[in-house]
Amino acid sequence: MIRIKTVPLAIISIVTMLGGIVIAKSVGYYETTASKDPVKFKTGKLAGLPNPADIRGSYTWVDIEKAFKVPAAEAAAAFSGADHALDPASRVSELETVYAGILPAGLEIGTGAVRLFVSLYTGLPFEAEEGSVLPEGALALLATRPGMDAEALRKFIIPGTSEAVQGAAPRAAAPVTTLAPAAANPAAASASPASNAQTAPAAAPSATTAGTGSGSGSGTGTTTTTSGRAVVGKTSYGDLYDWGLTEAQIEATTGFKPGSRTQSVREAAAAAGIEFSTFKTALQALVDKTAP
């Protein structure tokens, strides 16, 4: 019988813990913070470009500048509240505090708004939630982007506030100090049909509609349905089954095996490394077709 007493047990426990950490560090597997490199699009012409959907609350504005070439100081200023100036080094999750209690019920300006803003700024696709809004400063900044469609931005105005984007035209004509979408993300620009035409908005169509992973636009930002059953980010497989779709139909449309009933389709797509927007329209069409 090999016996271990208290003191040796304490030593073994601590040495194993600390030794294990040292070994994990030595082999490069002991990261205690999340990487600030967003996941990249895996397919289509945008393959290799950062995905705005992966921006997290722990990102600072500086992290966003590094990843997406969106100037940190201007972005932080654009999102600052009337009495709450944001530091470019602060986390975007701070927005939840800045805008808490001052927005109409059901609206939120948080990390999701930053994803949308970056998407609009860069022309990279992102599927915005319905009812997404942006602060006036952010809309005003976006309005200065070359070729930006002021009309496309209107849907993101906070109800009851002055319409900042109405001044889009004169602002757009003013000198622009920020990187143009094409310069920031050339592939995004070339992948967007709209951006190929100089007279057409560069960022708005792909951003407000979420575009697609392969670079094709997909209509307007508001989901249009003929069945009254909208496929949105929160739609679960259970919803799709309840609407009459079969597992085989869903798999054929999305390109990957469906998850459990409670899992949202968007989360499953993210886990499979596929952009939700690449099949959303087709899925919506299938839902509309199946509807009684």
Partner 1 sequence: MAKTTSGKKPKKTSRWVRGGIQIFFLALVALVATNEALSEQGIETLSFVEGASLHAICPFGGVVSFWQLATAGTLVKKVHESSVALGVIALVLSVLLGPVICGWICPLGSVQEWIGSIGRKLFKKRYNTFVPRSIDRPLRYLRYVVLIWVSYMTIVTGKLIFQEYDPYFALFNFWTGEVAIAGGLILVLTLIGSLFVERPFCKYACPYGAFQGIFNLFRIFGIKRVASTCISCKACDKVCPMNIEVSSSGTVRDHQCISCLQCTSEDACPVAATVVLAAGSADVKTAPAEKEAV
Instruction: Pick the closest to residue 219 from 237, 232, 204, 234 (CA basis).
Output: 204
> Under a CB-based contact definition with an 8 Å cutoff, are residues 140 and 165 in contact?
yes
Shortest approach of partner 1 to residue 91 CB, angstroms?
7
Our CB check for partner 1 shows the closer of 171 and 266 to be: 266
- Cα separation of 68 and 118, whole Å? 7
Q: Are 177 and 116 in contact (CB under 8 A)?
A: no
Least distance from C-beta 67 to partner 1, angstroms?
17
Please, which residue, 32 or 198, has the CB nearer to partner 1?
Answer: 32
In the complex, minimum distance from the CB of residue 246 to partner 1, in angstroms, rounded to a whole number: 20
- Characterize 235-272 residue by residue with b for buried, 16 or more Cβ atoms within 10 angstroms of its Cβ, and e for exposed: bbbebbeebebeeebbeebbeeebbeeeebbbebbbee
Cβ burial of 116 (10 Å; 0-12, 13-18, 19+) is buried
Minimal distance, residue 255 CB to partner 1, in Å:
15
**Of these, 26, 29, 83, 174, which contacts partner 1 (CB under 8 A)?**
29
Neighbouring CB atoms inside 10 A of 234's CB total: 13
CA 126 – CA 111 distance, rounded (Å)? 13
Considering only 198-206, 207-215, 217-225, 260-268, which stretch makes contact with partner 1 by CB under 8 A? 260-268
2 lines the binding site for partner 1 (CB under 8 A)? yes
> If binding is defined by CB under 8 A, does position 24 make contact with partner 1?
yes
Which amino acid, residue 272? A
31 binds partner 1 (CB under 8 A): yes
Residue 100 binds partner 1, judged by CB under 8 A: no
Is 105 a binder of partner 1 (CB under 8 A)?
Answer: no
Residue 38 Cβ vs partner 1, minimum distance, rounded to whole Å: 13
Gap between the Cα atoms of 210 and 228, Å rounded: 20
When the beta carbons of 173 and 271 are compared against partner 1, the nearer one is 271
Minimum distance from CB of 275 to partner 1 (Å)? 15
**What's the DSSP call for residue 87?**
P
For residues 281 and 252, is the Cβ–Cβ distance under 8 A? Answer: no
How far is residue 25's CA from residue 214's CA, in Å, rounded to a whole number? 38
Phi, then psi, of 50 in degrees rounded to 5: -70, 145
Q: Which of 91, 172, 214, 243 binds partner 1 (CB under 8 A)?
A: 91
Rule CB under 8 A: say whether 16 interacts with partner 1. yes
Residue from 90, 178, 249, 290 touching partner 1 (CB under 8 A): that is: 90
Residue (219 or 259) nearer to partner 1, CB: 259
Q: Is 73 in the site for partner 1 (CB under 8 A)?
A: no
User: What is the closest distance, in whole angstroms, from the C-beta atom of residue 130 to partner 1 in the complex?
Assistant: 21
Which residues contact partner 1 by CB under 8 A? 1-7, 9-10, 12-14, 16-17, 20-21, 24, 29-34, 56, 87, 90-91, 93, 259-260, 262-263, 267, 270-273
